[in-house]
Structure 1
Amino acid sequence: MAQGADGRPAAAREDLQDYVRELAEPLVPFAGESGARIRLGVNIAHHDDAAADLEGYARPLWGLAPLGAGGGDFAHWDVWAQGLAAGTDPAHPDHWGRPGHLDQRLVETAAIGFALALVPERLWDPLSGAERDRVAAWLTAALDRTHAPNNWDFFPVMVSLGLDRVGVAHDREARHARLDRLETYALADGWYSDGATEQRDYYIPWAMHFYGLVYAALAGAEDPARAARFRERAAAFALGFRHWFADDGAAVPFGRSLTYRFAQGAFWGGLPYAGVGVLPAGEVKGQLLRHLRWWRERTAQTSPHGVLTIGYGYPQPGVAEQYNGPGSPYWAMKAFLPLALPAGDPFWTAEEQPPAELPATLVQPPAGAVLMRSGGDVTLLGGRQSNAWVRGGSAKYAKFAYSTRFGFSLPADELGLVHGAYDSMLAVSDDEGEPVHFRVRERCEDAVTEADGTVCATWHPWPDVEITSWISASAPWHLRTHRIRTGRALYTAEGGFAVDRDGGPGPRTEAEGAAVAVSAAGDLSGLRDLDGGRTGTVIECLPGTNVLARRTVLPTLTGSLPPGEHWLRCAVLGAGPAQAAAWEQEPPAARH
């Protein structure tokens, strides 16, 4: 991924091979004598330690298998082959345990099946006959277990592909039944839902599409109609998914499982692997390589001791879901799928292209989102999704805006604005006296995306309080309007984007009707109250709340409302140094 003086990637394929080794080799000392249990830390996920150790073993295979399939060297294949034999041996002390219903082990079988399909000579051929029998028995036992009715249905499909490659007989009709069910989740514009839910997040590109493209590549000859549908949906999805990435390669942080980091870009590797040519090879190459460069430049923060940490922009346990163990971040290695392609593939021979010229605003109704581009950055305006199951679900799904430059923040707890870090939210309190307890949008009702770049949704922090919020793109600003019908007195606090406060104090302004803060690097976050009834303040949030910056300040508009109907309107600006001057100009007028 290094670049030559002319701006073109220099030996990009070799650089990606090096990156895989750079990620995988530090894991070897954690593998123990058997290689089966790669224990990278203390497991606090909801699954048992054996499953967490299996995760540490299996997930690196998402990158190692393409590396090996494309002829790349790796000095420790023996560790993974020995680990496969030991982990599937019920008599071995490092046995992974038999896969159960709705079991984390089912998730990890997908990586093993995928690896057997790509590099059986590395994992299967070195085993004895008895060891192969045990591996086959362990994997086939997972096929008929109950899987969650969402992207999990692809896991036994990946296992089936691996069993096909190594000649193990199994029920292949069950595979087609699962694929039939997965296809019922298809939506417009190449989108899927992740099961019969409203979830439309990175699980669509890095799971639903990724596995579908792997299937199309490996099983397309025998199932051509389905493979064609997977490719067609991916082609349609690619046109809109480009809008989720900033010009520097950063993806919009949004939704759950953000600790998988550069799995966000895995879809771009799936396109050439499955032969989907909807975009020029150089454009797809640029999308993937810029994204991986963006993450690799942050290795010192994300992997301070050589091992990927739980977090996003830095080690941050609060980002974790209840199912994230120490090995979870290695799903990121899905991004290396193109390494399975030969060096002469058009993906590798094409010249990397710069970011495509895209419109400033794209409305994506299936996702309930509007993507806004300005100054090379991307802001996602949302209003459809919610998730009460994952940790911090309201922060990960239900904020008004998510930014490639400013990220978003997770609450440290619910007591006060400093702890809550309520960026891109309207927080409301009915406390008497000094407000301490706040509620925010958790569930979006009656969500609508409008052609002018507006997302509208209604939410109820209490049964007698109804808030309808209109969030509109007006690059580089976005506009917010809230109609509040309340049966109780409320204190309101509306946050802009949280801005980095490291590097020394930058300019801050707290005034009637406005609040703004500027980082030492020149990034600006500000809000202007378009109705003039609120007071601006800048809050120093607790450290470790924002997913990109470790310590932040948050411009906020505050005010009090008696019972009745009220309208709050503001213009919000989040800009890098090149566009920060927009703050001194007249903000756009409210639309609602």
Structure 2
Amino acid sequence: MTYDPVSANPLHGNPLKSRADVEKALHDLFNPLLPFFSEGGARVRLDGAAAHFDRAAADLEGFARPLWGLTPLAAGGGRFDHWELYRRGLANGTDPEHPEYWGTVNSTDQRMVELAAIGFTMRLLPDKVWQPLSQQAKSNLAAYLKHARSFDYADNNWKFFRILVDLGLEECGVEFDRSLTEKYLEELDAFYLGDGWYRDGNVRRIDHYIPFAMHFYGLIYAALAKGDDKRVAAYKERATLFAKDIRHWFDEDGGTLAFGRSLTYRFACGGIWGALAFADLEALPWGEIKGQYMRHLRWWADKPIANRDGVLSVGYGYPNLFMSESYNSAGSPYWALKAFLPLALPADHPFWTAEESKAVTDDAPIPLKHPGMVMMHTPGNVVALSSGQQNWQMRHGSEKYAKFIYSSRYGFSVEVDERAYNMGAFDGALAFSDDGRHYRVRENNEVAQIAGDTLFARWKPWTDVTVETWLLPASPWHIRVHRITTPRTLHATEGGFAIERADLNADTYIDEPGSGAAKSETDVSAIVDLAGQREGRAHRPYPNTNLIASKTIVPQLRGEISAGTTVLMTAAMALPAGDAAEAALRQPPEAPDITELEALFAREGVDVSAILVPERF
């Protein structure tokens, strides 16, 4: 037998049905880290890859991030045998004279991020990490935290990190300057858009940082703050509204929408459900909240997400540095342990005693104005039609934010060679080339609107080329209409959903005029030209480009775009293999009337919230 990489996943084989199962999962995830703690306990270094910040900060990341799970475990009465290791690490990491000192914060710094977990732990477990320390160690730790919080935090969810440190200092009786505490809370409130949605700073994007950061930290604050009743009530009210929308980012099997940055945090995406429980907030029926939470953990249990030693890899569905961010060190994936917040709750809490209920899905499309999405639930999948957002700071920002479609089952792909137009995956995207080698895709929008369950965007791949795109649900298909105005001839490639490819090319590939399709053992994906005769192909892009499957097939339509104005109309879909998929293949939707689409947006179109922020360069 050959090595099965799934077997290294610490969640593999765990039924993840009960509180005891979740507690075991946490231990199984943490224990592989023990050999990598430094002698003084302050640093955890897992491999030689680098992030943009210094090595000391990366080592602190490896040390601190497991606390997001270990702290709730102990707060809920669970056993953890290594608190002495953590006490030693806290003492040495904050001692300027010790060789494992974490380094001094002198500006906005990654250490600020990681210190939030320490503040959280000091708030919940002072008897574990504060009271047993020597007076000198207490003084060093307090001084380190107070010094770090004297600098400006990034103007986004980072402001919560200072608030969490404040909670810890307050619990441990440390005096500190509170002048910025209220100011930061007010600035965080300024990011609130309405209907439960925030943005993560003054940016043109709304992604998983809303559930696993803005609401996650807000609900922790709501559970732990003292004497801020008005804000606590607001946080709970917003989270209640948000839960009704964000459940549609999860499919019936527990998979979540693969969209945006920081997806290497994996099951942190399910942290919103645990945070609702931690704050004792029944935003949805407890059975639904528990079902969303447990299904999400189970979804990860059969993925090869760990290295051979059981250490979580950078990647998503498998180890993959292509999709990583510049701020991902080897310790970064352990923000996934934020999902274990409910372990702070006793076994008789209604979250744990409730029977799981099925996911709430809807046959009708669900429009979400703030992120500019229309959600479609299909078997084992949720699809987001996306008006497109902007992120020029992140690696592969266009792929993570500006495709037309995103999916939980099929993920999305990142491009790995900007000089290989013919090999591009371009799933969920429309790519143009004017030389057959380089290409342009959507990076941002001039306009992004929603009208009912239909989306519109206007964007420019070049300054002299304009594309107007309408997206329409037609479940299980969706329709894309593109009106392209160009002064010169271009070539265009448009992709459908990427599905997993078998070894030895043991799949069915359909290349026809006007359509491309692929059939694997598990899935069917197709793209159809509803107006015109672009050439169809079932394309095999470079390996390790898709977030979920390391080798994929992407049906594409390809053809020349003449100078002037051209209208393209496309339908695409992907379904699990079976009779329903075959029936859908035989019944693609009809082309819409572009005049009616224009009239719809003239009458009902409203701006997508994600676009309503000034651009930053």
Q: TM-score, normalized by length of structure 2?
A: 0.92
1:21 maps to which of 27, 32, 37: 27
Count residues in correspondence: 577
Name the CA distance, whole Å, in 1 between partners of 2:586 and 2:17.
45
Report if aligned partners of 1:384, 1:445 keep a CA contact under 8 Å in 2.
no
Instruction: Answer yes or no: is 1:131 the counterpart of 2:137.
Output: yes
Q: Partners in 2 of 1:100 and 1:534 — Cα distance?
A: 57
Structure 2 CA distance, aligned partners of 1:420 and 1:361? 30
| SS, match of residue 459 in structure 2 | strand
Alignment of structure 1 residues 502-521 onto 2, 5 Å = 502-503=502-503, 504-521=505-522
What does residue 591 of structure 2 align with?
A: 590
CA distance in 2, matches of 1:334, 1:243: 21
Counterpart contact for 2:305–2:312, Cα < 8 Å: no
Separation in structure 1 between the aligned mates of residue 177 and residue 550 of structure 2, nearest angstrom: 50
2:599 is matched with which residue? none
The SS at the match of 2:192 is: coil
Q: Does 1:154 align with 2:155?
A: no
2:106 maps to 1:90: no
For 1:331 and 1:388, locate their aligned partners in 2 and report how far apart those are by CA, in whole Å: 24
Partner letter of residue 234 of structure 1? A
1:142 offset after TM fit, Å?
Answer: 1.4
- Counterpart of 2:368 (choices 364, 369, 375) is 364
Instruction: Measure, in 2, the Cα distance between the counterparts of 1:552 and 1:242.
Output: 28
* Residue 289 in structure 1 maps to residue 290 in structure 2: no
Residue correspondence of structure 1 range 183-582 to structure 2 within 5 A: 183-219=189-225, 221-298=226-303, 300-417=304-421, 419-431=423-435, 435-451=436-452, 453-503=453-503, 504-521=505-522, 523-578=523-578, 579-582=580-583
- In the alignment, the residues of structure 1 paired with residue 88 and residue 311 of structure 2 have an alpha-carbon distance, to the nearest angstrom, of 22
Change (3 A) 1:107 1:398: same
Deviation at 1:345?
0.9
Unaligned runs of 5+ in 2: 1-14, 595-617
5+ unaligned residues in a row in structure 1: which ranges? 1-8
Q: Secondary structure at the match of 1:187?
A: strand
Structure 1 pair 547/357, CA: closer, same or farther in 2 (3 Å)?
A: closer
CA contact (8 A) 1:43 1:49 kept: no
Contact 1:77 1:122 in 2 (8 A): yes
- Residue deviations 1:543-590, cap 9 Å, x none? 000000101121110110221001000110111124312343221122
In structure 2, what is the Cα distance between the partners aligned to 1:493 and 1:384?
18
The DSSP-based 3-state class of the residue aligned with 2:441 is coil
**Runs of 4+ residues deviating >4 angstroms:** none
Measured against aligned partners, the alpha-carbon deviations of 1:29-54 in whole angstroms (never above 9, x if no partner) come to 10021110100111421100000000
The alpha-carbon deviation at position 95 of structure 1 amounts to: 0.2
Query: How far 1:326 sits from its partner (Å)?
Result: 0.8
Q: Does the C-alpha gap of structure 1 residues 92 and 344 become closer, same or farther in structure 2, counting only changes over 3 Å?
A: same
State the match for 1:5 in structure 2: none
Alpha-carbon spacing, 1:99–1:297, altered in 2? closer, same or farther (3 Å): same
Aligned in 2, Cα 1:48/1:460: closer, same or farther, shift over 3 Å? same
C-alpha distance in 2 between matches for 1:490 and 1:253: 30
* Counterpart amino acid of residue 94 in structure 1: E
TM-superposed deviation, 1:519: 1.5
2:36 paired residue among 30, 36, 43 = 30
The answer as to whether partners of 1:418 and 1:540 remain within 8 angstroms in 2 is no
Structure with the bigger RCO (C-alpha within 8 Å, sep 6+) is 2
Counterpart of 1:168? 174
| Counterpart contact for 1:283–1:352, Cα < 8 Å | yes
**What CA distance in whole angstroms lies between the structure 2 residues aligned with 1:181 and 1:567?**
44
Mark the CA change 1:10 to 1:30 in structure 2 (over 3 Å): closer, same or farther: closer
> For structure 1, which segment, 224-233 or 162-171, has the greater mean C-alpha deviation from structure 2 after superposition?
162-171
Q: CA deviation at 1:126?
A: 2.2
Q: 1:582 to 1:141 in 2, by over 3 A?
A: farther
**Identity of matched residues, %:** 48
SS in 2 for 1:537: strand
| Aligned CA-pair RMSD | 1.3
Q: CA deviation at 1:454?
A: 1.7
SS of the equivalent of 1:381 reads strand
The residue identity in structure 1 corresponding to 2:420 is: G
Q: Please say if residues 423 and 497 of structure 1, whose CA atoms lie closer than 8 Å, have aligned partners that are also in contact.
A: yes
Q: CA deviation at 1:359?
A: 4.4
Distance 1:290 1:495 in 2: 30
Tell me the amino acid that sits aligned with residue 299 of structure 2: W
Which residue number in structure 2 is paired with residue 6 of structure 1?
Answer: none
Distance 2:349 2:62 in 1: 31
Worse-superposed segment, 370-379 or 208-217: 370-379
Q: CA contact under 8 A between 2:17 and 2:294: conserved in structure 1?
A: no
8 Å CA contact retained: 1:113, 1:161: yes
SS in 2 for 1:65: helix
Question: What is the SS of the residue equivalent to 1:138?
Answer: helix
TM-score, normalization by structure 1: 0.95
